[in-house]
Chain A
Amino acid sequence: MKLALTDQEVAFRDELRAWLAETLPTVPPEPPHDDDWQAKRAYDTGWQRRLYEAGYAGIAWPKEYGGRGASPTEELIFLEETEKAGAPYVGCNFVGTLHAGPTIGAEATPEQKAKYLPGVLKGDNVWCQGFSEPGAGSDLASLRTKAVLDGDHYVVTGQKIWTSHAQIADYCELLVRTDPDAPKHRGITWMVMPMDTPGIDIRPMKTLAGTSDFSEMFLDEVRIPVENRVGDENDGWRVAMVTFSFERGTAFVSELLGSFRLVADLAEVARKTGAWDDDHVRRELAIIAAELEAQWALTKRNVSRAARFGTAGVGGSVFKLAYHDTKVRLGDLSMEVLGRAGLALDDPAGLSAVDHVERRLYTLSLSIAAGTAQIQKNIVGERMLGLPRER
């Protein structure tokens, strides 16, 4: 085991640092945190374009379809350095660069790769995900949006939900039911839905944090060309799951490093409010800081496993559960330190309350999105400990 970087990794880091130092001053200011999604799209895709021009786009994608082909450790360095330098996050490029793109890379035909992947890398196209449905959440494979073959098109009707960036996306990676009589995992097909196809009705939903981060999507006889299907008909469940098999344990790097900053900032706020004189506050913040540091070590362990074995395995579930638990306590401590100053998001007291309170609210989604904490605990209990499934 070693923590020190190899010469090659140091060279990668130094080159990246130099590029960031040169490039970040020329990046336009981040649009305000409201629902101006076109402005967010312009900002996020503008950054993706910069990455593309510098050769950092698709950092973990294989070189054969235009990626950087970086090792898991180099990807970790990339995420750490960009976060520490204050570079833009992946934002609305998330589904394209980290889910739909890699799926297409692994499963699609050469023609499909040539059609879709360059647009992701260059920041020309934004993707969204049409997986969950009102009746198919944790039990995703029970999805019912149906696709019926009609000549050289599928006619798709149904409803999707929790679709982030639907209102600004060009394409949607869509799961549909093509065989209603097959066992539920074997009647699903994966396809690309262009978002300008007639019959798509997008209705943004407001989250408890007050912004419209995701939408409902109503599909009414949407005609999708058969050539947009990736993988075989009724093999979509396997296609959708393939990205999990190259999970590298890097999904929460930016999030985690952001939390280190929140801890440091909360210590400052506590000194201003006098809460720092309270031994309980100092010690609880120390324990939280220690847990985050330990989760950073776990991240390095997961990345090392991915480098060695090709995947971090259940390490991603382990990280998510541990991290959520710590974040809840950090959020609660933030509210305690802020006191009544935490009751107004306008932050008239000038204590950076908005950051802390927004994160406190956002933390509520961490134990729900991309597999609830309860599902993650089942995964840990069953795959790591070998406990039987509940019947």
Chain B
Amino acid sequence: MDLEPTDDQNTLRDELRRFVSARVDHDARWAAAAQPGAVDRDLWRELGSMGVFGLLVAEDAGGVGLGWAEAAIVFEELGRAAVPGPTIATALAATIDGLGLDGIVDGTAVVGLVEAADPLFVEHLDGLDALLVLDGGSVTLADPPTGTTPVEHPLDPLTPLTMLGAIPTGRAVEGDDLAHQLRAGSALLGAAFQVGLGAAALELGTDYAKDREQFGRVIGSFQAVKHILADAAVGLEVARAAVHAAAVARDERAEGHRIATARIVASRAAHTATEACIQVHGGMGYTWELDAHLFLKRVLVLDQGPAPVHAAVGAVAASL
């Protein structure tokens, strides 16, 4: 047993962090928000060449051949920059044998994933090459419907939504327990992404608390402020351990309820951290120009699935 990342895993994390923090900064996020519906294809290919989409694909199939533990580490780093686009869906699509779609691993194809539901909101629809639809136990691969218009005011400026009137038809995708596997993967990587969003918010809030002065001293020295940030840090540390344990358990085929567990605690920790960031910033925290709300809003989007947090709570409750 060893739940501390290996040197290789730390190196992977550091490389991703360097790349993502330089490539997807504050300005890049707002540039993406200014082009609703579009997916930044250059970024997508760069992520592909970093191995983000081929992580879970065997080397002889053109992938990187790593496991869920590495995927959890990578998706936390994507979360730290709130990287826009259906990164989780595309990485999961790459794991499906015989999907019959080229260019996923190298980042030339953008694939979405949606759970059939009412209302049926599809994320990033205008930027997709293909859309995977989960409907109960079935999975279909559909061409993204055209001639649709994104909603005017999506909650998250970085996650454009299109409402569809009907579930798009496509061809059935076969696979052993595939719908369940996609939900599990989505829950796990969503949890990792949320931990990253929370970590970014915590860093933003902590940096501000070290800099901002009131009553003649930096506000981070006041215990009332310090403890808000400490609570956020505690939640994220626990959630990160849970996400890593769930990912390792999935690699070892012993996941049990660990993914649901990770999903629940990661969501709660990400809420605490993003809200702490807003609170510590005071009035500035409530403004549009500070990125804090982008982190919070993405957390809220990820809560809703696929494999939403409320379903994870239900699954754990059913096991008691």
Residues of A near any B CB (own CB < 8 A): 1-6, 9, 73, 76, 263-264, 267, 282-283, 285-287, 289-291, 293-295, 297-298, 300-301, 303-305, 307-308, 315, 318-319, 321-322, 374, 377-378, 380-382, 384-391
| Alpha-carbon distance between A302 and B246 when the two chains are bound, in angstroms | 16
Do A290 and B265 touch (CB < 8 A)? yes
| Alpha-carbon distance between A165 and B229 when the two chains are bound, in angstroms | 37
Known: A73-B1, A283-B313, A304-B1. A293 touches B261 (CB 8 A): yes
Do B1 and A294 touch (CB < 8 A)? no
Do A322 and B235 touch (CB < 8 A)? yes
Do A321 and B3 touch (CB < 8 A)? no
Do A293 and B242 touch (CB < 8 A)? yes
Do A1 and B313 touch (CB < 8 A)? no
Do A1 and B242 touch (CB < 8 A)? no
Closest B residue to A376 by beta carbon equals: B230
Q: With a CB–CB cut-off of 8 A, which chain B residues contact A1?
A: 2-6, 9, 69, 244, 247-248
B135 lies within 8 A of chain A by Cβ: no
Do B3 and A300 touch (CB < 8 A)? yes
Do B229 and A387 touch (CB < 8 A)? yes
Do A286 and B230 touch (CB < 8 A)? no
| Alpha-carbon distance between A3 and B6 when the two chains are bound, in angstroms | 13
Do A377 and B231 touch (CB < 8 A)? yes
**Would you call the interface of chain B mostly helix, strand, loop, or mixed?**
helix
Interface hit among B81-89, B101-109, B213-221: B213-221
Do B226 and A301 touch (CB < 8 A)? no
A-B residue pairs in contact (CB < 8 Å), sample of 17: A4-B1, A73-B1, A286-B316, A287-B264, A290-B261, A294-B242, A300-B3, A300-B245, A301-B3, A304-B3, A304-B4, A322-B238, A381-B229, A385-B230, A387-B229, A388-B221, A390-B222
Interface hit among B116-124, B144-152, B163-171, B249-257: B249-257
- Apart from A298-B237, A303-B3, A381-B227, what 16 extra A-B contacts exist at CB < 8 Å? A2-B1, A263-B320, A267-B320, A286-B264, A286-B317, A286-B320, A289-B320, A297-B245, A297-B258, A300-B241, A301-B245, A315-B237, A381-B226, A385-B206, A387-B229, A390-B221
| Alpha-carbon distance between A285 and B16 when the two chains are bound, in angstroms | 37
| Alpha-carbon distance between A306 and B3 when the two chains are bound, in angstroms | 11
Chain B interface residue count, Cβ-Cβ cutoff 8 angstroms = 53
| Alpha-carbon distance between A3 and B248 when the two chains are bound, in angstroms | 7
**A/B pair count, beta carbons within 8 Å:** 174
Q: With a CB–CB cut-off of 8 A, which chain A residues contact B246?
A: 297
Do A2 and B248 touch (CB < 8 A)? yes
Do B1 and A300 touch (CB < 8 A)? yes
| Alpha-carbon distance between A6 and B233 when the two chains are bound, in angstroms | 31
| Alpha-carbon distance between A267 and B234 when the two chains are bound, in angstroms | 27
B239 lies within 8 A of chain A by Cβ: yes
B314 lies within 8 A of chain A by Cβ: yes
Give chain A nearest CB distance to B13 CB in angstroms.
Answer: 12
Do A3 and B252 touch (CB < 8 A)? yes
B197 lies within 8 A of chain A by Cβ: no
**Would you call the interface of chain A mostly helix, strand, loop, or mixed?**
helix
Do A282 and B320 touch (CB < 8 A)? yes
Q: With a CB–CB cut-off of 8 A, which chain B residues contact A5?
A: 1
Residues of B near any A CB (own CB < 8 A): 1-6, 9, 69, 202, 206, 209-210, 217-218, 220-223, 226-227, 229-231, 233-235, 237-239, 241-242, 244-249, 252, 254, 257-258, 260-262, 264-265, 268, 312-314, 316-317, 320
| Alpha-carbon distance between A294 and B195 when the two chains are bound, in angstroms | 13
Do B317 and A283 touch (CB < 8 A)? yes
Q: With a CB–CB cut-off of 8 A, which chain A residues contact B262?
A: 294
| Alpha-carbon distance between A378 and B262 when the two chains are bound, in angstroms | 27
Q: With a CB–CB cut-off of 8 A, which chain A residues contact B230?
A: 321, 377-378, 380-381, 384-385
| Alpha-carbon distance between A385 and B234 when the two chains are bound, in angstroms | 11
Q: With a CB–CB cut-off of 8 A, which chain B residues contact A3?
A: 1, 3, 245, 248-249, 252, 254
| Alpha-carbon distance between A381 and B220 when the two chains are bound, in angstroms | 9
Q: With a CB–CB cut-off of 8 A, which chain A residues contact B268?
A: 287
Do A388 and B220 touch (CB < 8 A)? yes
Question: Which 7 pairs show the lowest CB-CB distances between chains A and B?
Answer: A294-B242, A297-B245, A286-B317, A381-B226, A286-B316, A304-B4, A387-B220
Give chain A nearest CB distance to B241 CB in angstroms.
Answer: 4
Q: With a CB–CB cut-off of 8 A, which chain B residues contact A2?
A: 1-3, 248, 252
Do B226 and A9 touch (CB < 8 A)? no
Known: A301-B241, A304-B2, A387-B226. A287 touches B257 (CB 8 A): no
Do A374 and B227 touch (CB < 8 A)? yes
Closest B residue to A326 by beta carbon equals: B238
Known: A285-B317, A388-B218. A301 touches B244 (CB 8 A): yes
Do A283 and B314 touch (CB < 8 A)? yes
**Contact pick for B313, options A6, A287, A294, A381, CB 8 Å:** A287
Closest B residue to A293 by beta carbon equals: B261
User: Max chain B CB contacts within 10 Å: which of A5, A308, A385?
Assistant: A385
**Contact pick for A390, options B2, B223, B233, CB 8 Å:** B223
Closest B residue to A291 by beta carbon equals: B265
Q: With a CB–CB cut-off of 8 A, which chain A residues contact B6?
A: 1
Q: With a CB–CB cut-off of 8 A, which chain B residues contact A322?
A: 234-235, 237-238
User: Max chain A CB contacts within 10 Å: which of B241, B248, B257?
Assistant: B241
Q: With a CB–CB cut-off of 8 A, which chain B residues contact A389?
A: 221
Q: With a CB–CB cut-off of 8 A, which chain B residues contact A385?
A: 202, 206, 220, 226, 229-230, 233
| Alpha-carbon distance between A139 and B233 when the two chains are bound, in angstroms | 24
Q: With a CB–CB cut-off of 8 A, which chain A residues contact B252?
A: 2-4
Do A294 and B238 touch (CB < 8 A)? yes
**Contact pick for B226, options A285, A294, A321, A390, CB 8 Å:** A390
| Alpha-carbon distance between A305 and B5 when the two chains are bound, in angstroms | 9
| Alpha-carbon distance between A298 and B261 when the two chains are bound, in angstroms | 13
Give chain B nearest CB distance to A58 CB in angstroms.
Answer: 22
| Alpha-carbon distance between A73 and B2 when the two chains are bound, in angstroms | 8
User: Max chain A CB contacts within 10 Å: which of B206, B231, B246, B320?
Assistant: B320
Closest B residue to A267 by beta carbon equals: B320
Q: With a CB–CB cut-off of 8 A, which chain A residues contact B3?
A: 1-3, 297, 300-301, 303-304
Do B227 and A377 touch (CB < 8 A)? yes
| Alpha-carbon distance between A1 and B242 when the two chains are bound, in angstroms | 13
| Alpha-carbon distance between A386 and B230 when the two chains are bound, in angstroms | 11
Give chain A nearest CB distance to B301 CB in angstroms.
Answer: 21
Do A318 and B316 touch (CB < 8 A)? no
